[in-house]
Copies of this chain bind each other. A is one copy, B any other.
Amino acid sequence: MLPDTTTVKARWARVQENLRAADVDAMIVLKPQNTFYLSGYTPVIYSHPALVVLPAEGEPVFVLHALRAHSSRRVSLITDIRPYGRWAKEIGPDHWWQVLADVLAERGLAGGRIGIEGEFLPHNHLTRFAETLPEATFVDAGQALMRARYVKDAAELESLRVAAAVADAGMDAVLAAVAERRSEVEVSAAAMRAMQDTWATRYPDRIAIDFGNLEGGVFNSLWAYSLVGDRVPMNSAPPTDRRPVDGEIQWTVIWTAIDGMHTENERSVAVGRLNAERQAAFESLLAITEEVTPHLRPGLSCADVYEAARAAYRRHGYGDYLPGRVGHGLGLGPHEQPSLGPTDDLVLAPGMVLTIEPNLRIPSFGGLQHSDSVVITETGFEYLTTTRRDLIQV
């Protein structure tokens, strides 16, 4: 569900604590996922910058184009809305950076240490900040926000469960379509149609829109693609009219976002009978996954999970096929921190949401990959996606 005022205030407090720890006086937030996190409001289209100023103490301010004034006043949980530009009778200063400077001056922070999202903020934006706020010092505070997003709150978890239910409905349609030997495009379209139906009939009160980039984008958040046989190692690629032939493995990826929260459900399906090499690889991958998942629990680090995977790949004779990571964070981003890879020392904690997806890419026939979305619990983890995860054969 969308956050309420209590929930966003708790989010502000978490980020503010991180800002104070980093000796930052205020943060300027531009990344769509992050402004949504702090406000519960999305302008959907981000080609006009939408910026949140979050001081280390006190209430945040939302700086938005005049075109968004009406909708943000109706929806945003940040209630101090400051429009720039003009749209019909709504008229503010010409430029967002003027409003930003006014807000920081009002708070007495024009000469402060100002946090930015270094991994996201376009270089020219920072130049404009610096010109408008010549007394300020700018420091990368992106992790102050990202770390606050690691552990999901109750509103986010509820949205994730709905997103997973929609993804599962899509995967049901996939399994039926693959059983009929449909093409990559047909399987993908069948999944997306099923998810549209599920959203419209079961969850019409939910947001099914994703975040785009700063040039705009198209944001249908119910997405699937399918790849067959030797096309699986393309990993992420447009589906084609290629159909499976018996003995091949078809892999379908479903990503859904509900209320901005992403889940992933991916399944490899044996089309008819597999030869011995493929059968052995599929069975080994399931065994590897079974050996890795007990390491998904509070107190172990992401790197611990990866090392468990490394050992399991070796044990089963696939040491040369270890991927760069075996899972990743999920939330407002479909690939957010942390990473279940060799260098991520983050220790797992209850409420973190991740994919678990050991995989094999074997040049002789393609590849194999199931991916599930899971939430870390007090004692281990719980699956959010529920499609059968054995050696699926149709």
List chain A positions with a Cβ less than 8 A from chain B. 31-33, 42-45, 47, 66-68, 70-71, 74-75, 85-89, 116-127, 140, 183, 185-186, 188-189, 192-193, 196-197, 199-200, 204-205, 207-225, 233-238, 240-241, 255-257, 262, 320-324, 333-336, 361
Say whether, besides A70-B234, A189-B197, A215 and B333 are in contact (CB < 8 Å): yes
CA–CA, A208 and B207, complex, Å: 21
CA–CA, A225 and B199, complex, Å: 13
Cβ-closest chain B residue relative to A359 = B88
Instruction: Assess the B218–A256 pair: CB atoms within 8 A.
Output: yes
- Report B-chain residues with C-beta under 8 Å of the C-beta of A200: 185-186, 188-189
Say whether, besides A123-B123, A322-B88, A213 and B216 are in contact (CB < 8 Å): no
- Report B-chain residues with C-beta under 8 Å of the C-beta of A189: 196-197, 199-200
- Report B-chain residues with C-beta under 8 Å of the C-beta of A204: 183, 185-186, 240-241
CA–CA, A127 and B33, complex, Å: 23
**Distance to closest chain B CB from A318 (angstroms):** 9
- Report B-chain residues with C-beta under 8 Å of the C-beta of A71: 233-237
CA–CA, A222 and B221, complex, Å: 10
14 more A-B residue pairs beyond the given contacts A67-B235, A188-B200, A220-B222, with a C-beta to C-beta distance below 8 A: A70-B234, A70-B235, A71-B237, A123-B140, A183-B204, A193-B196, A193-B197, A204-B240, A204-B241, A207-B238, A208-B238, A211-B217, A213-B213, A219-B223
Copies in the complex: 2
CA–CA, A218 and B234, complex, Å: 17
Cβ-closest chain B residue relative to A74 = B234
Cβ-closest chain B residue relative to A46 = B213
**Distance to closest chain B CB from A371 (angstroms):** 13
Instruction: Assess the A255–B218 pair: CB atoms within 8 A.
Output: yes
Residue among A192, A221, A240 with max Cβ neighbours from chain B (10 Å)? A192
Say whether, besides A200-B189, A211-B217, A236 and B45 are in contact (CB < 8 Å): yes
Q: Which of B192, B193, B213, B233 contacts A212 (CB 8 A)?
A: B213
Cβ-closest chain B residue relative to A31 = B215
**Distance to closest chain B CB from A95 (angstroms):** 12
Say whether, besides A217-B334, A223-B219, A335-B215, A192 and B196 are in contact (CB < 8 Å): yes
**Distance to closest chain B CB from A134 (angstroms):** 17
Instruction: Assess the A121–B123 pair: CB atoms within 8 A.
Output: yes
Cβ-closest chain B residue relative to A337 = B215
Instruction: Assess the B89–A237 pair: CB atoms within 8 A.
Output: no
**Distance to closest chain B CB from A206 (angstroms):** 8
Q: Which of B68, B127, B208, B237 contacts A44 (CB 8 A)?
A: B237
- Report B-chain residues with C-beta under 8 Å of the C-beta of A197: 189, 193
Instruction: Assess the B118–A140 pair: CB atoms within 8 A.
Output: no
A-B contact pairs, 25 of them (CB 8 A): A31-B213, A44-B237, A67-B235, A68-B235, A71-B236, A86-B324, A88-B320, A116-B123, A118-B122, A123-B140, A183-B204, A189-B197, A192-B192, A205-B240, A209-B225, A210-B217, A210-B218, A212-B213, A216-B334, A218-B220, A218-B255, A218-B262, A220-B220, A220-B221, A220-B224
- Report B-chain residues with C-beta under 8 Å of the C-beta of A215: 31, 33, 120, 211, 333-336
CA–CA, A214 and B219, complex, Å: 15
**Distance to closest chain B CB from A328 (angstroms):** 9
- Report B-chain residues with C-beta under 8 Å of the C-beta of A216: 333-336
Instruction: Assess the A209–B193 pair: CB atoms within 8 A.
Output: no
**Distance to closest chain B CB from A340 (angstroms):** 14
**Distance to closest chain B CB from A281 (angstroms):** 13
- Report B-chain residues with C-beta under 8 Å of the C-beta of A217: 210-213, 217, 333-334
CA–CA, A208 and B215, complex, Å: 18
